[in-house]
């Protein structure tokens, strides 16, 4: 459709669902916090629980100074959570089951860590790669290993979210496919198809758990990495 | 008679206390109650935290845990391999950069896994 500097910029279903996720999140939070009652309504309670949950997670791992990142972490958590939950609707597209999306989110986190670290601590941020109490002889090797370990963070962060969502949805689809292929095999097949059907129901429940859990894991790891940016020497 | 009076006086004390509660005039009393409420809440929070931690460990399926450690390990090796390949293309040292950085990436992967399982922290605090 459109292109910008030779790069094709078209409206894909991935882009559509990312926009839908953002609109749904913003719309829900605006609607929920609109009344601002002293005694919260149900909607407002949900918004407050989300706020408290992310604030506690961030404060526990990055400390009080880490609260400057609260808008970023809250946006990330809500985006991942709502995108995961959107994937649970039949015929919807799961944005987080595509590695480029999760990788972009992870790169956003790591770039924030690097930029904030250098702006706040200057070259003192590089102290992150020099563990204390290491003999000078092996120090260069340890520093290289630490740097590789640091660079692997965005990859492991993105792969974990992507792989969990993808694997869960594939499992769900495989079991759902068993139902149709078994039910073509006569009366015995139809009777047998109840087994994968039960499995599909159970897996759907599990997938809801995974949707929450992976959004939480992504947030916790983000907080831990941001904590490194706030206190590089620990 | 005497006992009856006593009863009456205690009743009046009770009612005055009630009034205090209603009007919230005894600020010291209110402060005390607030601090005790705070302490109770904290206790409750700690208990709840313990509960959620234990629950999280229980329902964290083996699949998710394996995927977590696997991604930690593999990603470090991939980064090591990529750095080695980039090093080689820049300095024309075709196999050696790849060999060295793959091994370093492997070491970083082991380090990642040890960090993720919490073994690194124990030894780190021990050496400090």
Which residue among B67, B80, B111 places its CB closest to the CB of A160? B67
Nearest CA to A97 out of A77, A75, A80 is that of A80
> DSSP per residue over chain B, as a string?
-HHHHHHHHHHHHHHHHHHHHHHT--HHHHHHHHHHHHHHHHHHHHHHHHHHHHHHHHHS-HHHHHHHHHHHHHHHHHHHHHHHHHHHHHHT-HHHHHHHHHHHHHHHHHHHHHHHHTHHHHHHHHH-
| Tens digit of each residue's pLDDT (9 = 90 or more) over A15-62 | 899 999 999 999 999 988 887 778 888 888 889 999 999 999 898 888
Domain presence at residue B73: yes
Distance to chain B for A24, nearest Cα, Å: 28
Nearest CA to B63 out of A157, A207, A72, A111 is that of A207
Residues B42 and B22 in one domain: yes
Domain presence at residue B48: yes
Which residue among B72, B111, B124 places its CB closest to the CB of A156? B72
| Tens digit of each residue's pLDDT (9 = 90 or more) over A161-193 | 998 899 989 999 999 999 888 888 888 888 888
Cβ pairs bridging A and B (under 8 Å): 65
Distance CA A44, CA A173 (A): 35
Domain presence at residue B5: no
Do residues A77 and A109 make contact, with C-beta atoms less than 8 angstroms apart?
Answer: no
The domain containing residue B117 runs over which residues? 61-128
Residues B49 and B108 in one domain: no
B80 contacts A148? CB cut-off 8 A:
yes
pLDDT at residue number A65: 83
**What ipTM goes with this model?**
0.73
Domain presence at residue B65: yes
Among B residues 91-110, those touching chain A with beta carbons less than 8 Å apart: 101, 104-105, 107-109
Residues B121 and B84 in one domain: yes
Measured on CA atoms in the order B31, B33, B39, B44, is the torsion positive or negative?
negative
Residue A66: CB partners within 8 Å, gap ≥ 6? A58, A59, A223, A226, A227, A230
Among B residues 61-90, those touching chain A with beta carbons less than 8 Å apart: 61, 63-64, 67-68, 71-72, 74-76, 78-80, 83
| Tens digit of each residue's pLDDT (9 = 90 or more) over B65-118 | 788 888 889 999 999 999 999 999 999 888 898 999 999 999 999 998 988 887
Probe site for chain B from A56, A61, A135, A149 (most B CB atoms < 10 A): A149
Residues B20 and B49 in one domain: yes
The domain containing residue A222 runs over which residues? 2-230
- 3-state SS class at A8: strand
Residues B73 and B122 in one domain: yes
Domain presence at residue B8: no
A184 versus A4: the higher-pLDDT residue is: A184
Residues B84 and B127 in one domain: yes
Residues B42 and B81 in one domain: no
A82 versus B18: the higher-pLDDT residue is: A82
Structure tokens at B33: 């109650």
Q: Domain count for chain B, please give it.
A: 2
B67 contacts A163? CB cut-off 8 A:
yes
Residues B120 and B66 in one domain: yes
Domain presence at residue B9: no
Measured on CA atoms in the order B16, B20, B23, B26, is the torsion positive or negative?
positive
Which residue among A155, A160, A213 places its CB closest to the CB of B78? A155
Distance CA B12, CA B6 (A): 10
Residues B108 and B67 in one domain: yes
Which residue among A132, A148, A217 places its CB closest to the CB of B105? A148
Residues B107 and B118 in one domain: yes
Residues B66 and B28 in one domain: no
Do residues A226 and A62 make contact, with C-beta atoms less than 8 angstroms apart?
Answer: yes
Q: Domain count for chain A, please give it.
A: 1
Residues B87 and B105 in one domain: yes
């Amino acid at each position: 459709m459109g292109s910008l500097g030779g790069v094709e910029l078209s409206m894909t279903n991935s882009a559509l669902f990312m926009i839908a996720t953002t609109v749904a999140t913003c719309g829900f939070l605006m609607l929920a916090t609109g009344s601002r009652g002293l005694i919260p309504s149900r909607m407002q309670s949900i918004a407050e629980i989300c706020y408290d949950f992310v604030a506690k997670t961030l404060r526990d791992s990055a400390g009080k100074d880490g609260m400057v990142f609260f808008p970023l972490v809250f946006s990330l958590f809500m985006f991942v959570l709502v995108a995961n939950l959107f994937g649970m609707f039949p015929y919807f597209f799961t944005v987080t089951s595509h590695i480029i999306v999760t990788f972009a989110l992870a790169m956003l986190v790591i770039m924030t860590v690097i930029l904030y670290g250098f702006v706040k601590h200057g070259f003192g941020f590089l102290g992150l790669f020099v563990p204390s109490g290491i003999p000078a002889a092996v120090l260069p090797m340890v520093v290289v290993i630490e740097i590789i370990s640091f660079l692997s963070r965005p990859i492991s962060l993105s792969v974990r979210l992507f792989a969990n969502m993808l694997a869960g949805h594939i499992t769900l689809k495989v079991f759902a496919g068993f139902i149709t292929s078994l039910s073509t095999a006569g009366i015995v097949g139809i009777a047998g198809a109840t087994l994968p059907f039960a499995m599909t129901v159970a897996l759907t429940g599990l997938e809801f758990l995974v949707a929450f859990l992976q959004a939480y894991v992504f947030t916790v790891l983000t907080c831990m990495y941001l904590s490194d940016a706030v206190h590089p020497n620990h | 008679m005497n006992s009856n009076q006593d009863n009456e006086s205690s009743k009046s004390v009770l009612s005055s206390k009630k009034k205090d509660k209603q009007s919230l005039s005894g600020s010291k009393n209110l402060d005390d109650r607030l601090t005790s409420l705070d302490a109770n809440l904290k206790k409750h929070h700690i208990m709840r935290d313990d509960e959620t931690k234990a629950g999280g460990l229980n329902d964290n399926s083996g699949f998710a845990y394996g995927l977590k450690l696997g991604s930690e390990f593999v990603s470090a090796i991939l980064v090591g391999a990529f750095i080695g390949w980039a090093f080689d293309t820049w300095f024309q040292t075709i196999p050696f950069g790849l060999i060295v950085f793959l091994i370093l990436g492997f070491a970083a992967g082991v380090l990642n896994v040890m960090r993720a399982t919490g073994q690194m922290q124990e030894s780190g605090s021990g050496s400090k």
